[in-house]
Chains A and B, each alone.
Chain A
Amino acid sequence: MKTFLKKYQSYIWIGLYTVLTILSFIFGFNPGKDIFGNFGQSFIEMITFMPFLFIIVGLFDVWVPKEKIQKHIGTGSGIKGIALVVLLAMLQAGPLYGAFPVAYILFRKGASIRNVFIYLGAFTSMKIPMLGIEIGYLGIEFSLIRTLVSLPLFIGIGFLMERLLKNSRFEVYDGSQAKEAAK
C-alpha cells in the first residue's frame, strides 16, 4: 500500500487537484478558482517552452554522438566548453526545472560536472527570451549589469560543484520515480 502510494503519488496529487478544481467551479469556491487561474498562467509558460525542450533533448539524444559531446563539453574541454554550454542555455526558455532534462541528457552524453552546473546557472538567468522581457521592464543597464555580475559567479559555482562532487559518484538521473527510489 505504501509503495503503491509512493509510486502513484504524482497521479493522485494531480487527480485530487483536478477534482477539487472542478468542485470549486461548481460550488463557486473562490480560492479554488484563483488557484486555477495561477495554475493556468504557469501552465501556459510551461507549454511554450516544452516543445523546444523536447526538440533539444531529442536532438542530442539521437543526433549528437557521445564522442562529440565529450570532446567539446566534457572534462578538459576548457573555456570553449564553458562558452558552448552558456550559449546553449541562452538560446532556451522556461523556468529552471525545464533545464533538468537537458542537464540529464548532456551528462549522460559525457558533459563534465562543471559544465552541467555552468549550464544550469546560465539557464537560470541568461536566457535571451527572458533578457528581452527583463530589458523591457527594468531597462538595459539593469539587465547588463546583472548578467555581467552573474556569469563569473556561475562559472565559479561550476568549478566548485565539480570539486565537491568529483569523488562522490555524482550523476544526473532521468527524473523518474524509480531512479529516485534506487538512490
Chain B
Amino acid sequence: MDLADTPLRRFLNEPVIPYETDDVTRLILDSHDSQAFSPVSHFTVGELREWLLDEETGDAALSAVALGLTPEMVAAVSKIMRAQDLVTVSAKRSVVTRFRDTIGLPGRISTRLQPNHPTDDPRGIAASVLDGLMYANGDAVIGVNPASDDVGRVETLLRMLDHVRETLEIPTQICVLAHVTTQLEALRRGAPMDLVFQSIAGTETANRAFGISLPMLDEAHQAALELKRGANIMYFETGQGSALSSNAHHGVDQQTCEARAYAVARRYNPLLVNTVVGFIGPEYLFDGKQILRAGLEDHFCGKLLGLPMGCDVCYTNHAEADQDDMDVLLTMLGVAGCNYIMGVPGADDIMLNYQSTSFHDALYLRSMLKLRPAPEFEAWLGRMGILEDGLRLRTARALPPVFERALTW
C-alpha cells in the first residue's frame, strides 16, 4: 500500500538517482512542466491509477498531462496496474508521428521490416525486404541491424535500401541501425539517410556503456534536422535490463530505469521508439510471463509520456518462452493500440539470433483486430496489387516486375 499512497510530488522532491550525479535526472527535472502537471499534482500513485482508468479521462486529457508526468511517476503507477489496466489506458492514447507516411493513427498498426543478414549481404537483405513488402510489412521503417559497425558497409546498405525504396516509390523510411557516430560519419560521406537511430538507456552511466551521451545525441539530432525532412527524424530502441546489465542502475529497479530512457527519447521528438522487450534474455526477464508484463508496462509508460511507442515482441533461445507467449503479448499490444511491431522473415532473425514477430504475425493481428497499415502505405499496397480493402492480402502469381528491378543492384 505504501507505493499506492505515495504522493506524486514526492517523485519531484526526491529523485531516485541524485540530480548532481546523473544527467538523465537533470533532464527529467529541468524539463518538467508544472503547468501540465497541475491536473494530477495533488494525486497519490493510487489516485493517478483511478484517474487514468476513469472513462471521463480521454486522449486529450492524457495528452495534456504528458509533459507533467515523469518516468518515475508512470513506472510507479504501472506497478499497481493489472495487465488489462495497462491495455485499457494505453488504448485511449494515440501518439501520431509523420515522415513519408503517418504512423500511430487509431485503427492502424505499422511494422518495421527487419531484413537482417549475418554478413550484411546487400542482395540477401534486399530479398528479405521484397518478401516483407509482399506480405504488406514495412510502413514504420525498413530498418537493418548491421552485423558490422563499419562505416563503409553502413553506407552501402543505406544506398541499397534507398535504391529499393526509390525504385518502388514506397512511402516509408529507411534506416541502418549502426552506432550513432557511425551513422553521422556515413551522413558526412553523403549516404542517403532518413532516420538517425540509437539504443538508449535511463541513466547517464548506462548511456556511457552504449558509447553515447546527451550532447552526442543533441549533435546527431541537429545534424538530422539540418536535412530538413520534418520534425520526427529520430528512431530509438530501449529495453528493460540495459542499465542493470552494465551495472549502471544505481540500485533502481529495471522497469523504472527503462521509463527514464523514455525521457531521453522524448527530448528528440522521435518518429519511432520501441522496447526490444525479450532481447536481453532470461537474466533480466526470465520467462514468457515476465516478458508479457514488461512489454505491456513499457508500451504503457512510453505512451503516457507521449512517445510513439512500438514493441519488438521477442525472446531468446535461452529464455523460458516460446511462440505461444509471443502470440499473447502481440494480441494484447494490438488491443492496446501499439504503434508498430517488427516484421522478421519467419520470426527468425538470422543475424541477431532471437525470435521476433513475423510478417505473418502482422497479418494475423491486422485481420483479427481490423487494423490497417499507415494510410499512405495502404494506398501504395493497393497500387501494387498486394493488399485489397486495406486488410486482405491478395494472391500474387509472381513478383511485380518493378520488384525484380529493385533487386538489380
Partners in one complex: no
Residues of B within 8 A of A (CB): none
Residues of A within 8 A of B (CB): none
